[in-house]
Amino acid sequence: MERAIADRNILDRFCEEFCAITQKYVKYIVVSGFVAIASGRTRGTEDIDMIVEKMNSELFVTFFADLEKHGFECMQTSDITEAYSYLTDKLSLRFTKKNHPLPEMEVKFSKDLLDEYQLEHRTKLSLTGLDVWFSNINVNIAFKEELLKSTKDLEDSKHLRVVYKELVNEVEITNVKKLIKRLRL
């Protein structure tokens, strides 16, 4: 399959539509690269990363059906039981709009105290113009600087530090980095 980088306007609409469905069922956060992109950083991506609260299988069936009703499909499987097992096995599910390989929403269940912290401290970022819950800026910076560390992630971090300088809290960043070291490294 030919892959390309998704257009920002398409990403925005896709993200808001997917998030509007998701918030009917569970708390969620959009994390990682799309936070920087939605905040004005010019770079490409083909997916949006989302962490959701764990949900039981009955709620997941309803959520999955609602996504399908609104034109989303799971790339790995159309079998709801199998899809749910991906999430409970700490794997991600990727969703696209039917017949459109991009963009993708990569969904993962919250897996530890770090993800729970992110969900608890989620925020809406007015600068983005999107009605979407994001993980907070300090958590994003900590992940990009301590765990991910690619050139792209470090550039994202620099961008977030500049654009959200009034929200940057070095104490929180340091504390989240300690959690990352303890739980993820």
The CATH number of residue 17's host domain is 3.30.460
Q: Does residue 44 fall inside a structural domain?
A: yes
Question: 3 in a domain, yes or no?
Answer: no
Mind listing the pLDDT tens digit for each residue in 58-76? Answer: 999 999 999 999 999 999 9
Total number of domains in the chain: 1
Q: Give the largest Cα separation in the chain, rounded.
A: 45
Q: Is 23 a member of any domain? A: yes
pLDDT at 4: 41
Structural domain span for residue 21: 8-137
Structure tokens at 179: 């959690």
Assess whether pLDDT exceeds 60 at residue 31: yes
Q: What is the pLDDT of residue 7?
A: 52
* pLDDT confidence bin for 46, thresholds 50/70/90: confident
| pLDDT at residue 2, rounded to an integer | 38
**The whole model's pTM is what?**
0.92
Quick check: is 91 in a domain? yes
Read off the DSSP letter of residue 104. Answer: E
Cα-Cα-Cα-Cα torsion 64, 148, 110, 66, nearest 10 degrees, comes to: -10
Instruction: Tell me which residue of 3, 1, 5, 2 sits closest to 152, measured CA to CA.
Output: 5
Q: For residue 145, is it within any domain?
A: no
Query: What is the C-alpha separation between 84 and 135, in angstroms, rounded?
Result: 23
Q: What is the token pair recorded at 82?
A: 């199998």
In contact, 177 and 147? CB cutoff 8 Å: no
pLDDT tens readout for residues 104-136:
999 999 999 999 999 999 999 999 999 999 999
Q: Residue 166 falls within a domain, yes or no?
A: no
